[in-house]
Amino acid sequence: MEESAEDHDDGTVARVAAIDIAKASGMVCMRVPHDTIEGRRVQQVWNVASTTNAILELGDKLICQGVQRVVMEATGPYWRPFFYLLEARGLECWLVNARDVKNVPGRPKTDKLDAVWLAKLAERGMVRASFVPPKPVRQLRDLTRTRTVFIQERTRHKHRVDKILQDAQIKLSSVVSDLFGVSSRAMLDALVSGERSPRTLADLAQGSLVKKRSALVEALTGQFDDHHGRLLRVLLETVDHLTAQVHELDRLITLALDQITAPPDDTGTKPGAGDTAQAAGRAAHDLVERLDAIPGVGPTTAQIILAEIGADMSRFPTPEHLVSWAKLCPRTTQSGAKNTAGPNGKGNPWLKGALGEAASAAARTDTFLGARYRRIVKRRGHAKALVAVARSILVISWHLINDPEAPYQDLGADWHQRHLSAARKTRDLVRQLQALGHTVNLAPAG
């Protein structure tokens, strides 16, 4: 009797295919049971071009052979066409981490051997599928990541503006807090237009900068010439262009966010397009607003969190699964009787970057997260305290996304003090006194 293509009780897979992906092609290895000889496997290896028609033909062939699981290694962006097209054909596609499927050291390495090795690991259930979000979340990811890159580029160009001013002996950044504020930008535009008088430039100050007029006159006295003006014009135009692109991405992100948070239609009726759009918009606004309530998390960070982990927490059964996937928990390293904590790992750089910024902001607040940072930083240092706060933010986000009715409630900056064991606090204080050379004798209060 022919083996089933379903997973066996022992975790093995009867019919599996693996793809070792390169830029222009992919080496496919298919392993299926023999038609007549029980227990024997039939292996076939061939090369497939990474064009749309070739991948679709591959999907048809794998379906005809009864293959239901296709495993491929994450190789830059080149895995995407194979994964998306084969998934659309109805095949179960797994993307695996290259670190988890390395071949045995010392053996020859070719594309064919890598595909065979990956197929053997897959049929024995020795690989884990990486998290690949659905298409709406992937599109939201593209938008948020592009916005992050544009913001970083805009910051780089703003720094170049200050370098040009320093080269011209213009010390404007030493007087103003924001070089691209209303007053500062008016002065920069005047410099580009040809104005060189420090007093005339200082008269453009507004608000609190008016009180610093004498300091502005001194800071704006330099050797700014036409060469600096031409460079400054190019950089200011680039900054303005990037700002406009960021605003456009903000609009597109809002539209994409509505798609992933639209509630399913469980009533059996099909509402009008206007009703669906309004319901989706309300759901998106509510989800971002509840995440925004977390200290340190703003609307932009909330959008990045949703783009990186999605709005469906069934992929992460518990907050600990999500924290482990994001690499915000220490890795256990055990050898014999020795247990140590290894480094966290790389994880998702886009998510960890946003959470790191949120943790830095939360650490300065008078909230539970701020108290948690100040409590940990004293004994573990700044970096580990920020990671701990970032982990707490991610756990809170999991609960808010997983339960649409759960609002964020801050525990308060004094939560640790209110829940600290009296015996533990006494023991810690005694140890501190003993470390200073004192002998401590405790007696109950009369």
Can you tell me the distance from the alpha carbon of 152 to that of 22, in angstroms, rounded to the nearest whole number? 30
pLDDT of residue 10: 54
CA-to-CA dists, residue 167 to 161, 162, 172, 249, angstroms = 10, 9, 12, 34
Can you tell me the distance from the alpha carbon of 131 to that of 133, in angstroms, rounded to the nearest whole number? 6
Which residues lie across from 94 on neighbouring strands?
71
Segment 86-133, tens digit of pLDDT: 999 999 999 998 877 877 777 788 889 999 999 999 998 888 888 998
Give the chain's residues under pLDDT 70.
1-11, 261-282, 284, 342, 446
So where are the chain's domains?
16-130, 138-255, 282-332+341-402
Asked whether the beta carbons of 294 and 396 are under 8 A apart, the reply is yes
Can you give the length of the chain in residues? 446
Nearest to 329 by CA among 397, 371, 387: 387
Q: Which amino acid is at 433?
A: L
pLDDT of residue 276: 46
pLDDT of residue 11: 62
* Residue with tokens 């092609």, as numbered in its chain: 25
pLDDT of residue 12: 79
Residue 265 CB partners (closer than 8 Å, separation 6+) = 271, 276
Number of H helices, E strands in the chain: 16, 7
- Domain 16-130 fold: Nucleotidyltransferase; domain 5 (3.30.420)
Which residues lie across from 70 on neighbouring strands?
17, 93
pLDDT of residue 340: 74
Which helix (H) or strand (E) covers residue 71, if one does? strand 69-73
Can you tell me the distance from the alpha carbon of 168 to that of 174, in angstroms, rounded to the nearest whole number? 14
pLDDT of residue 425: 83
